[in-house]
A and B are shown apart, each in its own frame.
Chain A
Amino acid sequence: DIVMTQTPLSSPVTLGQPASISCRSSQSLVHSDGNTYLSWLQQRPGQPPRLLIYKISNRFSGVPDRFSGSGAGTDFTLKISRVEAEDVGVYYCMQATQFPFTFGPGTKVDIK
């Protein structure tokens, strides 16, 4: 199974300041079709997860442009350019390149 790790696991951020979360996979997430099925999810308190970014760097419909994704192979990053109060929650990276699909442990983002 592909193991996903995230750092940090907790990120207290000042409103208006940037935040960055790293995700690493235990093996390359490049699929045989050439795509890399690495997604970022946001889970606000009491809510189901919501897709933010798919295939490393593509923002999903309705996602603010302060969220961006980057990376390749086994190393990926989610950046929030200026954290807003509504960004509080847990962020997960997820790979759908190989079964079983696997998730990172989550990074809790809260306001200092």
Chain B
Amino acid sequence: QVQLVESGGGLVKPGGSLRLSCAASGFTFSDYYMSWIRQAPGKGLEWVSYISSSGSTIYYADSVKGRFTISRDNAKNSLYLQMNSLRAEDTAVYYCARGVYSYGIDYWGQGTLVTVSS
């Protein structure tokens, strides 16, 4: 069955960096696009970034552009999010999500909490 397991979250000071990982299993990772989506405590969902199946096409939300970098390693069935210059407003649960070109995002991971605080 499809599994997406995020890791790498934690407490970091403003201005600090963190790298999130998402381990995928149960499907052919290289056939799907992937996204990171976040949810601040008690708030709604915010799309963060997209990477195509090959990694050749990448998009970011304006709120993270220039600070976050998405990447993937299809040989390792893994998705990453490098987060730099973190701000308090980046505090959220970060979800890794799988996307199908023919209909959109279908599976979500359990999420990893990132807390940016001094």
B47 within 8 A of A: yes
Give the number of chain B interface residues (Cβ < 8 Å): 22
Cα–Cα, bound, A54→B98 (Å): 14
5-53 of chain A: CB within 8 A of chain B:
35, 37, 39, 41, 48-51
Question: Contact partner of A51 among B62, B95, B106, B109, CB < 8 A?
Answer: B106
Find chain A residues with CB under 8 A from B44 CB. Answer: 92, 103-106
How close is A14's CB to chain B, nearest CB, in angstroms? 26
Residue pair B47, A50 in contact (C-beta under 8 Å) = no
How close is B79's CB to chain A, nearest CB, in angstroms? 15
State the majority secondary structure of interface residues on A: loop
Question: Contact partner of B108 among A37, A48, A96, A100, CB < 8 A?
Answer: A48
- B 54-78 binary contact with A (CB < 8 Å = 1; else 0): 0000010110000000000000000
B27 within 8 A of A: no
B108's closest neighbor in chain A, by CB? A48
> Could you list 7 A-B pairs, sorted by A, with CB under 8 Å?
A39-B103, A48-B95, A96-B105, A101-B47, A102-B47, A103-B45, A103-B47
